[in-house]
Amino acid sequence: MKNKILLIIIIVFIACSSSVKQDNPPITYIFSAEDCIDPQLYDIRNEFFKDAKRYGIRDIFYQKQLLLLKYNALPESIWGLCYPDIGFIFIDSTKMNADTSLIWIVTYHELAHFYLDAEHTDSCQLNIMMPVINKTQADSIYKNFNAYKSGMFRAYHIKKFHEKGIKR
């Protein structure tokens, strides 16, 4: 029930945030493959899978279905949104001016929410799961991306270790 309500809210949000003229195609076309599924985002997702496997995370990818969409009408100051319960991630790459470092960091950030149940953290000056990131910070993370990815995947293992310890 919760998933259906969230899906309805997303559809209403999309419909209300788009200006649709009478002679335009129905709003349902917003999810057409050529308009919204960006191959670059799926390349980033595939790299995320490879990185996760490198850090010993293999079972999470078959448990969830994901639709990773380029959606260029997110609210101001939001570059990505993740709805793990219904399997959607929206990335606003236009707002990022197609900047490579921003797109990679924001997509990894949202994928970590979706697949790793990662939460925002600002315990370090720079990390992929910061709640807000600017261009300068994204460039710094991207220069040492492997180290930051390592920290993110290791945090997943630490979280799982603590969850197992609590259940005992």
Residue corresponding to tokens 């990679």: 104
Q: Looking at 62-66, 67-71, 135-139, 164-168, which range is the least confident one? A: 164-168
Tens of pLDDT along 87-143? 889 998 777 877 889 999 999 999 999 999 888 887 777 889 989 888 899 999 999
Domain that holds residue 21: 2-167
Confidence of residue 31 (pLDDT cuts 50, 70, 90): very low
What radius of gyration, in Å, describes the C-alpha atoms of the chain? 17
**DSSP H helical ranges for the chain:** 2-17, 33-36, 39-54, 100-116, 135-143, 145-167
pLDDT given at position 21: 39
pLDDT given at position 112: 94
Confidence of residue 166 (pLDDT cuts 50, 70, 90): low
Confidence of residue 73 (pLDDT cuts 50, 70, 90): confident
Phi/psi at 73 (nearest 5 deg)?
-140, 30
Residue corresponding to tokens 């490879």: 50
Q: How far apart are CA 101 and CA 121, in angstroms?
A: 19
Phi/psi at 88 (nearest 5 deg)?
-120, 140
Q: How far apart are CA 14 and CA 32, in angstroms?
A: 14
Tens of pLDDT along 34-50? 346 678 888 999 999 99
pLDDT given at position 148: 93
Total domains present in the chain: 1
Q: How far apart are CA 60 and CA 162, in angstroms?
A: 18
